[in-house]
């Protein structure tokens, strides 16, 4: 076996992952069977598990550091939507073949950059070899003041709906990843191409919103399967409907360019998936304070509609006409 290959689980854990656990007492240097964690007084823990797999959520030849970033970011995005502060994560890796040491070094480097930015540390994990696609399963753990987790199911009729950032960029990044020639067809600038690629490869959990969410949101969730599908989930969990103004949906210059070229791309804005922006419901009486709290953040927050009584999810065009909805966003089944 080549020296560039891994021989044992210990090679992976102690050789590459242990540095990610340093300084976290309850991780025991990844040398024990379990990790130990306790919330600060007055806090409780918020937990989420999500996996990404080669061929489904990323391409085999994506950069290892990008794969690592995305695996952690999609979990931390859920914590961000709940108003939770990231603390730690567990990592379960499945490889069809022993990974190259150079690949693992880059993967660990991507995790390090991501965990430093998100403010959490690796505390435990598991590595397996099995056939099939490489898969990375992360369980992320954050904390919120007791009782203050922002729920998905507490939106009320009259609440205003906001989204962070811009929608459809990751769908464009994926389209470019599949066929780079569309950049020319849609006359995208190099900067616009880079923006969309980065949004697809390195989604940024919207942790900057945490104080505003805790203080003013009645409900929130992150957008992973497309706005229409995920907003439908918030509505179903809350027993409400929603009206969304298509012309108010925030899009980047790149996506704006593509929608101008191909009007059907509006569907990607509504249902493209992988946005990892936040959908936030704010009671009318708190909207002003919410907007004040989000002003000046690096990420914009845009009003896109409101929560309604009933169960219908309506998307309105510029003149109030209904926009026919894409049937669903992404579903694995």
Q: Which residues of 158-196 are buried (b: 16+ CB within 10 A; e: fewer)?
A: ebbbbbbbbbbbbbbbbbbeeeeebbeebebeeebbebb
Specify the residue for token string 């040491």: 101
Q: Pick from 7, 22, 185, 288: which binds a second copy (CB under 8 A)?
A: 7
Contact between 31 and a second copy (CB under 8 A)? Answer: yes
Query: Which of 22/31 has CB closer to a second copy?
Result: 31
CB-based contacts of 187, cutoff 8 Å, min separation 6: 257, 261
Q: Pick from 21, 64, 71, 94: which binds a second copy (CB under 8 A)?
A: 94
Q: How far apart are CA 155 and CA 5, in angstroms?
A: 51
Nearest-approach distance from CB 158 to a second copy, in angstroms = 22
Structure tokens at 135: 């898969």
Segment lying near a second copy (by CB under 8 A), choices 64-72, 78-86, 191-199, 310-318: 78-86
Query: Which of 58/200 has CB closer to a second copy?
Result: 58
Q: Pick from 18, 19, 45, 194: which binds a second copy (CB under 8 A)?
A: 45
Q: Pick from 35, 114, 196, 282: which binds a second copy (CB under 8 A)?
A: 35
Q: Which of residues 115-154 bind a second copy (CB under 8 A)?
A: 123-133, 135, 137, 139, 141-142, 144, 146, 149, 151-153
Classified as helix, coil or strand, 177 is helix
Nearest-approach distance from CB 153 to a second copy, in angstroms = 6
Query: Which of 178/332 has CB closer to a second copy?
Result: 332
Q: Which of residues 183-222 bind a second copy (CB under 8 A)?
A: 221-222
For residue 292, the tally of other CB atoms under 10 A from its CB is: 11
Nearest-approach distance from CB 289 to a second copy, in angstroms = 24
Structure tokens at 82: 């709940």
For residue 9, the tally of other CB atoms under 10 A from its CB is: 14
Q: Residue 11, exposed/middle/buried by CB under 10 A (0-12, 13-18, 19+)?
A: middle
CB-based contacts of 333, cutoff 8 Å, min separation 6: none
Specify the residue for token string 């489904």: 56
Query: Which of 129/288 has CB closer to a second copy?
Result: 129
Binding site for a second copy (CB under 8 A): 6-9, 11-12, 26, 28, 31-39, 43-51, 53, 55-56, 78-79, 81-82, 84, 90-92, 94-96, 98, 123-133, 135, 137, 139, 141-142, 144, 146, 149, 151-153, 221-222, 237, 331-333
């Amino acid at each position: 076996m080549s020296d560039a290959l891994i021989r044992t689980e210990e090679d992976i854990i102690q050789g590459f992952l242990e540095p990610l656990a340093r300084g976290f007492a309850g991780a025991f240097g990844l040398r024990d069977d379990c990790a130990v964690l306790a919330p600060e007084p007055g806090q409780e823990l918020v937990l989420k598990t999500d996996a990404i797999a080669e061929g489904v959520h990323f391409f085999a030849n994506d950069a290892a550091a990008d794969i690592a970033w995305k695996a952690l970011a999609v979990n931390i995005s859920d914590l961000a939507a709940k108003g939770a502060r990231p603390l730690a994560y567990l990592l379960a890796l499945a490889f069809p073949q022993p990974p190259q040491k150079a690949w693992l070094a880059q993967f660990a480097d991507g995790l390090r950059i991501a965990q430093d930015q998100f403010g959490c540390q690796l505390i435990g994990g598991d590595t397996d070899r099995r056939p099939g696609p490489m898969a990375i399963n992360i369980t992320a753990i954050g904390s919120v003041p007791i009782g203050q987790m922002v729920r998905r199911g507490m939106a009320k009729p009259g609440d205003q709906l906001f989204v962070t950032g811009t929608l459809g960029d990751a769908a464009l990044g994926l389209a470019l990843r599949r066929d780079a020639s569309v950049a020319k067809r849609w006359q995208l600038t190099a900067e616009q191409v880079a923006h969309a690629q980065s949004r697809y490869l390195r989604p940024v959990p919207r942790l900057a919103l945490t104080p505003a969410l805790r203080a003013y949101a009645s409900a929130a969730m992150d957008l992973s399967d497309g706005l229409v599908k995920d907003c439908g989930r918030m509505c179903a969990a809350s027993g409400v409907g929603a009206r969304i103004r298509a012309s108010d949906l925030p899009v980047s210059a790149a996506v704006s360019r593509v929608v101008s070229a191909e009007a059907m791309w509006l569907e990607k804005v509504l249902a493209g998936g992988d946005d990892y922006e936040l959908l936030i419901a704010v009671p009318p009486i708190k909207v002003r304070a919410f907007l004040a709290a989000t002003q000046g953040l690096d990420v914009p927050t845009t009003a896109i509609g409101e929560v309604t009584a009933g169960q219908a999810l309506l998307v309105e065009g510029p003149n109030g006409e209904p926009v026919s909805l894409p049937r669903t966003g992404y579903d694995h089944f």
